[in-house]
């Protein structure tokens, strides 16, 4: 590759290369299939009379991978809608909120995990109103403690740090 091959920025966005939804979709599935094949490779396949643990994972992964490649190839030839950019803000705060809940529920209890996860998660939208989010999180946590711990009697740690 030489310097002259690098397209000008204006050009690159439109024509020279298009990652369509289905090309990405096919490749993504092929990737998953490859991962499973790698993981299941060492499992014995067995015979039909007594199928081994590897028989089904390997064959299903092979079908999935082949199908994924077919999808990608067909989309490469045919074209299709272009992949849109992901909503990073939503992903970060929602997934982060869930993970914070997981980190805090056993170490601190619901009384901390609930508000922290909810307030953090609230920032997934640009419409967030911080004061409202904090108040709402506290009220909801109190409600959840009453509902899950006392009304339903689930063994959820409420205060774990004492």
Partner 1 sequence: MDLISNLSLGFGVAFTVQNIFLCFIGCMIGTLVGVLPGVGPVATIAMLLPITFGLDPTGALIMLAGIYYGAQYGGSTTAILVNIPGEATAVVTTLDGHQMAKQGRAGAALGVAALGSFFAGCVATIFIAAMGAPLTKLAQLFGPAEYFSLMVMGLVFSTVLARGSIFKALLMVFLGLLLATVGTDLETGQERMTLGIQQLSDGVDFAPLAMGIFGFAEIIRNLENPEARDVVRGKIGKLMPSWAEIKQSVPPVLRGTFIGGLLGILPGNGAVLGPFASYTMEKKLAKDPSRFGKGAIEGVAGPEAANNAGAQTAFIPLLTLGIPPNAVMALMVGAMTIHGIIPGPQVMTKNPDLFWGMIASMWIGNAMLVIINLPLVGMWVKLLKVPYRLMFPAIMIFCCIGIYSINNSVQDVYFTAFFALLGYILIKLGFEPAPMLLGFVLGKLMEEKLRQSLILSRGSFMTFVERPVSGVLLAVAVIMLVIALLPSINKKRDAVFQE
Alpha-carbon distances of 9 from 84, 88, 92, 115, 127, rounded to whole Å = 19, 24, 29, 45, 33
x-or-dash string of contact with partner 1, 68-107, rule CB under 8 A = x--x---------x-xx-xx-xxx--xx-xxx-xxx-xx-
C-alpha 94/C-alpha 100 separation (Å) is: 10
x-or-dash string of contact with partner 1, 116-135, rule CB under 8 A = -xxx-xx-xx-xxx--xx--
Measured from the CB atom, the residue of 11 and 47 that comes closer to partner 1 is 47
In the region spanning residues 39 to 58, those forming contacts with partner 1, defined by CB under 8 A, are 39-40, 43, 47-54, 56-57
Measured from the CB atom, the residue of 76 and 148 that comes closer to partner 1 is 148
Measured from the CB atom, the residue of 1 and 151 that comes closer to partner 1 is 151
Q: DSSP class of residue 7?
A: P
Instruction: Find the shortest distance in angstroms from Cβ 4 to partner 1.
Output: 34
Measured from the CB atom, the residue of 12 and 89 that comes closer to partner 1 is 89
Instruction: Find the shortest distance in angstroms from Cβ 91 to partner 1.
Output: 6
In the region spanning residues 1 to 20, those forming contacts with partner 1, defined by CB under 8 A, are none
CA torsion, points 122, 126, 129, 130, in degrees to nearest 10? 60
Q: What are phi and psi of 82, to 5 degrees?
A: -80, 145
Query: CB atoms < 10 A from the CB of 58, how many?
Result: 18
Site for partner 1 contains 154 (CB under 8 A): yes
C-alpha 84/C-alpha 52 separation (Å) is: 42
């Amino acid at each position: 590759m030489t310097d002259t091959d690098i397209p000008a920025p204006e050009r690159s966005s439109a024509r020279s290369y298009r990652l369509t939804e289905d090309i990405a979709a096919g490749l993504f599935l092929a990737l998953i299939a490859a991962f499973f094949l790698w993981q299941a490779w060492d499992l014995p396949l067995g015979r039909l009379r007594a199928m081994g643990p590897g028989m089904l994972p390997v064959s299903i992964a092979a079908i999935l991978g082949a199908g994924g490649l077919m999808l990608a190839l067909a989309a490469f030839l045919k074209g299709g809608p272009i992949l849109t950019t992901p909503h990073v803000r939503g992903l970060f705060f929602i997934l982060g909120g869930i993970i914070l809940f997981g980190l805090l529920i056993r170490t601190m209890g619901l009384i901390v995990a609930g508000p922290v996860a909810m307030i953090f998660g609230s920032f997934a939208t640009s419409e967030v109103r911080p004061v409202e989010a904090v108040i709402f999180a506290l009220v909801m946590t109190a409600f959840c403690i009453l509902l899950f711990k006392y009304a339903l009697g689930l063994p959820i740690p409420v205060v774990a740090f004492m």
